[in-house]
Structure 1
Amino acid sequence: MPFALYLLAMAVFAMGTSEFMLAGLVPDIAADLDVELAGTGLLTSAFAVGMAVGAPVMAVLARNRPVRSSLLVFIAVFLAAHIAGAVTAEFPVLVATRVVAALADAGFLAVALTAATGLVPADRRGRALAVLLSGTTMATIAGVPGGALLGTVFGWRVTFWAVALLCVPAAIGVLTGIPARMRAVADRGPGLSAELAVLTRPRLMAVMLLGALVNAATFGAFTFLAPLLTDRAGLGDLWVPAALVLFGIGSFAGVTLAGRYSDTRPGAVVAVAGPLLCAGWFAMAVAADRPPVVLILVFVQGALSFALGSTLITRVLYEAAGAPAMAGSYATAALNIGAAVGPVVAALALGTRLGSLGPVVSSGVLVAIALLVASCGRAVLGGRQSESVDSVTAGLAGA
């Protein structure tokens, strides 16, 4: 893999840390800015919505610009948003900085996904995506626990400063690692209207929907993992960051393993991971009062979630090959629609009689819906399907 891919992953690590770090900071933010704890949920929602909406919008704005300059602009905006967030004393301003940071993150990821596939041969896109997404999984392993520790010891603002500082080596990496000659894909591709028209293809929309459903399940369970561990499993508060690290290690393993097969055997990946992921969420609810089993499942579910999710997103890039400048934004939008919807569904489930079991049960239901959609999709799509979608739907539906 080209070294430039690892430099892009460094920037994704900084941005992924920012996206996930609020899970351990919201109590301090609520107390410091004098807002209700529930109200701090706006910070997470604002980021997820900004990512989902921002991906295609930022991709349109960047489609005619050189890749390296676009990536540097997005990193600079992201850095500035975190500095503003670190110094503000007003909650609405903090929310606004999260939206701006999300837009920059979405733009960077959309361009980076496209750039990553341009740095490798066509048959190695899955492995390139695995390297890029390793930045996100490393954020869950090291960035989020590290941010939580900094916030606990020095206050939540220091964590924002730390993320801003991470942007500096990321920018240097992009500057030195991405060739200046790498031109915008739009310079040698179809027009914008033709790229947007790709979204009317049922096959592309089907894989995007599957990716969004799987990611919704992942984020729903991840967001409300703490109540399950402390209320049902009876573990102490210190076990929460440990479990998050376990989830992150599992996700890294899942992305790494899936990256080896998502180009050549995507159907095999989803045929195995899909049903196991669905069963695993329900198993976590059943075994919630057995701490060792729960912790093992946290690791396993992290691996399965990211193995399946990264494979589906790789297939989005293949299916959107007719939109080379916008394909990355379509994948990013699918991921973050799931990231925005999943916690909402999980929060609703949390308020039912299931209590802290609700989020993992709802995640199992979401994956079950994905399996059902894939099964129905084979008949609904009809006609001659592309290899990417045929392999995915066959794997999910036939498992």
Structure 2
Amino acid sequence: MPLVVYVLGLSIFAQGTSEFMLSGLLPQIAGDLGVSIPDAGLLVSAFAVGMVVGAPLLAVLTLRWPRRTALLAFLVVFAADQVAGALAPGYGALFATRVVGALAYAGFWAVAAATAVELVPSDSRARALAVVVGGLAVANVVGVPAGALLGQHAGWRAAFWAVAVLCVLATIGLLFTLRSATGRTEQPRAIAGELRALGRPRIWVAYGTTALTQGALFCTFSYLAALLTRAGGLAEGWVPAVLTLFGVGAVIGLTVGGRFADSRPTATLTAGLAAMVAVCVTLAFTAHQAVVTVVVTAALGLVGFAVNPALNARVFSLAAEAPTLAGAVSTAAFNVGNTVGPWLGGVAIGAGWGYPSVAVVSAVLGAGALATAAVSVTLDRRAGAGRTSRTVAGSVPERRPETAAR
């Protein structure tokens, strides 16, 4: 695996820490800026919406840029944005930095995924994408708890400064490692060609699977703390440790999923989705048993992230000639799930169904993802049959009469 792929994962780790660390900093931010915790929570929503809008938009706007230039520009902007967040004088300014940061992060995601795919053989794409996405899993294991700890002892602004430093280090790494890979990733790309590749129905079914899968995962993940303490009766002091277990499971899942998604993409995806549904159903019935819930939480991280490499690899296999825009829309699909899943979970809780209901909602969304994956298999078979029939029909060319040939 080229070193630059690992540096891209480091860059995602730095930016992903900023994406998720607010969950542990909301009380400090709300108290310092004089807003309610729900208002502070809108900073998380602002980031997610910025990702949905920014990924395809910036992919199109920077499509003609050299990949090295685009990656470095996005990362520098994100680092500067973290500095602006650390210095934000009020809630409005901080809100604006979250939107700008999300736009830069979305652009970086799209180009980073396309770059990683182009730097490895076709049978190693899922593994390369697992390394890049692994930065996000490590952010949940290390970055988010570290940000929360730093916020408790040095203030929430210190967490933003720390992310800015990480981004600077990642930028330096990309400056050196991308130099040797520049010739392989600077092929000219036409907007019209990439847009045509997105006109295939199969890729939009794949995006639907991505959004439903991510919605299923984050519907439960977003309310894990409340589920563990209010339904399971776990002491609040144990919540960070359980969330770390979730992150460890995610890292293991990405590693395993990346190993199998290249050789058995369909089996990896369907087995992972079926396991996710089973885990969510189990969690719904055992939410009041703290020990079981802790184990199931780790399993949720494992199965939820194990399908990630297969989801990403499928998109790039369906739109191999449009890696940047296809990856950008895939990023948007992930964040649609990140936004809609927690919202549906909140609706269930607000309806009085209790915190275990979020696991039920996740199971339903997971079943929907499994259904769209089945549709994808059917469409693949039809497309394969169509190619076979065309090949057979054209394999024996019709011979013209000798008189006609003359």
Say whether the fold is shared (TM-score over 0.5).
yes
SS of the counterpart of 1:356? coil
1:180 to partner: Cα distance: 6.0
The amino acid across from 1:355 in the alignment is G
Determine the C-alpha separation between the residues in 2 that align with 1:21 and 1:361: 26
Indicate conservation of the 8 Å contact 1:17/1:136, yes or no.
yes
Percent of pairs with identical residues: 44
User: Shift in Å at residue 320 of structure 1?
Assistant: 1.5
- Paired residues, number: 386
Question: How far, CA to CA, are the matches of 2:293 and 2:385 in structure 1?
Answer: 39
CA distance in 1, matches of 2:45, 2:208: 20
Deviation per CA, 1:198-226: give whole Å up to 9, x if none.
22211000111101110111122111111
After TM superposition, give the deviation of residue 325 of structure 1 in Å.
3.1
TM-score (norm 2): 0.91
CA drift of 1:377 comes to 5.2
**SS of corresponding position for 1:200:** coil
Q: Distance in 1 between the 2:384 and 2:157 partners?
A: 50
Distance 1:226 1:195 in 2: 42
Greater Rg over alpha carbons, structure: 2
For residue 156 of structure 1, what is the aligned residue in structure 2?
156
| Equivalent residue, structure 1, for 2:256 | 257
Q: Do residues 179 (structure 1) and 179 (structure 2) align?
A: yes
* Cα distance between partner residues in 1 of 2:10 and 2:121: 22
- Superposed displacement of residue 196, structure 1: 1.3
Q: Quick one: which amino acid aligns to residue 355 of structure 2?
A: S
Q: Quick one: which amino acid aligns to residue 179 of structure 2?
A: P
Measured after TM superposition, the shift of residue 179 of structure 1 is 2.0
The superposition leaves residues 284-314 of structure 1 with CA deviations (integer Å, 9 ceiling, x where unpaired) of 1211111111111111110100011331122
Aligned residue in 2 for 1:51:
51
Q: CA deviation at 1:280?
A: 0.7
Partner of residue 285, structure 1? 284
Q: After the TM superposition, which of the residue ranges 354-363 and 202-211 deviates more from structure 2?
A: 354-363
- SS state of the match for residue 287, structure 2? coil
TM-align CA RMSD: 1.9
> AA paired with 1:211?
T
Determine the structure 2 residue equivalent to 1:340.
Answer: 339
1:186: how far off? 7.2
Structure 2 regions of 5+ residues with no counterpart?
Answer: 387-406
| In 1: Cα distance, 2:144 partner to 2:278 partner | 27
What is residue 390 of structure 1 aligned with on the other side? none
Kept in 2, the 8 Å contact 1:85–1:94? The answer is: yes
Please give the alpha-carbon distance, in whole angstroms, between the structure 1 residues aligned to 2:308 and 2:268: 10
Distance in 2 (alpha carbons) for counterparts of 1:325 and 1:224: 33
CA distance in 1, matches of 2:375, 2:58: 33
1:82–1:161 Cα contact (<8 Å) kept: yes
- Which whole-Å CA distance do the structure 2 matches of 1:99 and 1:321 have between them? 30
Structure-to-structure mapping, 1:79-158, within 5 angstroms: 79-158=79-158
Q: Counterpart amino acid of 2:339?
A: A
Cα deviations by residue, 1:213-250 (Å, 9 ceiling, x for unpaired): 10111122111111001101111111111111111100
Residue in structure 1 matched with residue 211 of structure 2 by the alignment: 212
Hey, what's the Cα distance between the residues in 2 that align with 1:209 and 1:257?
23
- Aligned counterparts of 2:206 and 2:317: Cα–Cα separation in 1: 10
Matched, 1:7 2:11: no
Structure 1 residue 385: Cα displacement? 4.9
Q: Could you give the per-residue CA deviations for residues 175-211 of structure 1, whole angstroms, max 9, x where no partner exists?
A: 011126625967434x212211222211000111101
**Distance in 2 between the 1:34 and 1:87 partners?**
16
Over 3 Å counting, the alpha-carbon distance change for 1:203 and 1:150 in structure 2 is same
In structure 1, list runs of 5 or more residues that go unmatched.
388-399
CA distance in 1, matches of 2:316, 2:377: 20
Measure, in 1, the Cα distance between the counterparts of 2:249 and 2:256: 11
